[in-house]
Amino acid sequence: MKCHEELIARLAHRRNAKLGDLSKSGFEELLRAVRAHPNNFIDDPRDEAFSLVVDALDRYERAREADDLIEADEAFFVARQRRLKRLYTDCGRALARDENCADALLCRLLAQDLRTDDRVDQLVALQHNLEDYAQAEPLWTAAQEGRDAWDNVFTHGLLRIEAALSRALFDTARYGLADKACRQLLAKAPSDALGARHTCFLVLARLEDEEAFDALDVQLGRHGDSWSHLARVILLYKLNRLPAAKRALFSYAHLIEGGIFALLRPVLIDTYIPDRPETPENSFKEATLAVHEADPIVVDTPDLLSWAESMPKIASDAQEWAERNGFMW
């Protein structure tokens, strides 16, 4: 989440609405002014609340980076709990300014580190509770019919709730519902800044729905990434089309930097707060996220990893890549 950029865009759009729709160049001028001194433009409790969320997330990220340096596991998990608790409290402060701040509500919910089933329940409830409020908030509903919902910065919080819900549904093995949630999100915001397509590819692989998988791939212009390449390997392996699965594995290995190392040596990734971190395309970091998200369906195909490892040069190339890039094999 580019929270600072979003704060600036929100402030500029709200001021623009107050001023009565500036010209394009006028708006750009306003945007520059907001970027230079954002605090000078915070005069609405809703933006004040969002600004507090931005501060809370900055603090959370800094703490997370510091926690990564902790050696002992127990101390690490204690620090993690402390960090989440602080985020929860900070979101509470934001909600004191605006009780309907979608991002504060979402981050507070995720900071509770709930069991996945409870997370789904609460996200569904949150989405339901905000529906009425969204209808009454002119800047939330400003997106024109047929326009990409992501174009309206005031809808981002709601869309993030939907994306978090789709991932939580996936995590509770409710693949049909996760697919539905992803499709809704893709229909509302085809630009898909929140990566609903990634979850969707994994869902379709798990449901072994090759037709829908290919249709989605075509719809997205066959723009492959860590999720779609990995999902294709899983799909074909599940369909017992092993020669095709092997080719897909080699494509994944070839196109995704360190992808096989990420797959064979998965690392621990924390719950996304509030959404999936941004990563360079086809990078090792992207692959670690894809592998983390795919974990429940990889575990569901218990011999997939040993099959992948047994393919010629797969393990040796991954080991070589790891050694070249300073990772332990």
Partner 1 sequence: MPFDAHAEDYQRLKLRLAQNLVTEDPLEVQTAYDNFDKQFLKSRDALPQTDQDRSFSLIARAATLIDRQLPFSEETRAQQIIERAHGLLAEALSLDPDNADAHRMIAASEQPGFDAFFQWLDARADRVKEQCEKRCIETGEGLPKPLRELADHLAMRPYFRWLATMASQALICGRNRESLQLCYKAMEADPLDMGDVRFTAVLALAKLEDAKGLERIKKRFIYTPRRRLASLVLPLQRRSSYNAWLSLANLAIAYKQRDFTSAEEKLQRMLRRYPHAAATFIRQHELPEGVFARLPVIPKSEDELIVALSEATILLQEGREQGVCGPFGTWLAETSKELAKPREAEEIALAQQQAEERFRFISEMARKQAGFERPDDGWDNTGEHDLDKNGADENEENDGSANSDGRSSTLGSNASAQTSHDISSQNPDDVSSHNPDTSNPPTPEGDAS
CB 131 within 8 Å of CB 157: no
Half-sphere exposure of 87 (CA within 13 A, CB side): 28
Q: Roughly what angle, to the nearest 10 degrees, separates helices 116-136 and 102-111?
A: 170
Q: What angle do CA 199, 176, 246 make, to 5 degrees?
A: 55
Q: Cα 46 vs. chain centroid, distance in angstroms?
A: 23
The 3-class SS string of 51-65 reads HHHHHHHHHHHHHHH
**Which of 15-23, 90-98, 134-142, 166-174 is the region at the interface with partner 1 (rule: CB under 8 A)?**
166-174
How distant, in Å, are the alpha carbons of 3, 86, 130 from that of 108?
Answer: 16, 10, 15
Q: Does 301 bind partner 1 (CB under 8 A)?
A: yes
Q: Is 68 in the site for partner 1 (CB under 8 A)?
A: yes
174 binds partner 1 (CB under 8 A): yes
- Minimum Å gap between C-beta 17 and partner 1 is 38
For residue 47, the tally of other CB atoms under 10 A from its CB is 21
CB of 52 to partner 1, least distance (A): 24
Q: Is 143 in the site for partner 1 (CB under 8 A)?
A: no
Site string for partner 1, 3-42 (x = CB under 8 A): ----------------------------------------
Binding mask 188-227 for partner 1 (x = CB under 8 A): -------------------xx-------------------
DSSP state of 326: T
Of the candidate residues 4, 86, 183, 292, the single one contacting partner 1 (CB under 8 A): 292
Q: Which is nearer to partner 1, 173 or 255 (CB)?
A: 173
Shortest Cβ distance from residue 229 to partner 1 (Å)?
19
First to last CA, the chain: 32
* 76 in contact with partner 1 (CB under 8 A): yes
Closer to partner 1 by Cβ: residue 44 or 67: 67
Stretch that binds partner 1, among 27-35, 53-61, 127-135, 290-298 (CB under 8 A): 290-298
Choose which of 27, 88, 250, 327 interacts with partner 1 (CB under 8 A): 327
- Subset of 238-277 contacting partner 1 (CB under 8 A): 238-240, 265-271, 277
**CA–CA dist 220, 197 (Å, integer):** 9
- Told to check if 304 binds partner 1 by CB under 8 A, we report yes
Cβ proximity to partner 1: between 208 and 214 the closer is: 208
Query: Which CB, 4 or 180, lies closer to partner 1?
Result: 180
Residue in 216, 107, 220, 115 with CA at minimum distance from that of residue 164: 107
- Residue pair 204/216 in contact (Cβ under 8 Å)? The answer is yes
The stretch among 3-11, 112-120, 150-158, 183-191 that binds partner 1 (CB under 8 A) is: 112-120
Alpha carbons 58 and 61: distance in angstroms, whole number: 5
Q: Where are the alpha helices (DSSP H) in 239-303?
A: 242-255, 259-264, 284-299
Size of the site for partner 1 (CB under 8 A): 48
Instruction: Measure the CA dihedral 307/239/265/260, to 10°.
Output: 90
Of 20 and 302, nearer to partner 1 (C-beta) is 302
How far are the Cα atoms of 15, 19, 48, 328 from residue 38, in angstroms, in the given order? 12, 17, 11, 44
Query: Residues in the site for partner 1, rule: CB under 8 A?
Result: 64, 67-68, 73, 76, 80, 115-117, 120, 124, 171-177, 207-208, 238-240, 265-271, 277, 285, 288, 292, 295-297, 299-304, 306-307, 326-328
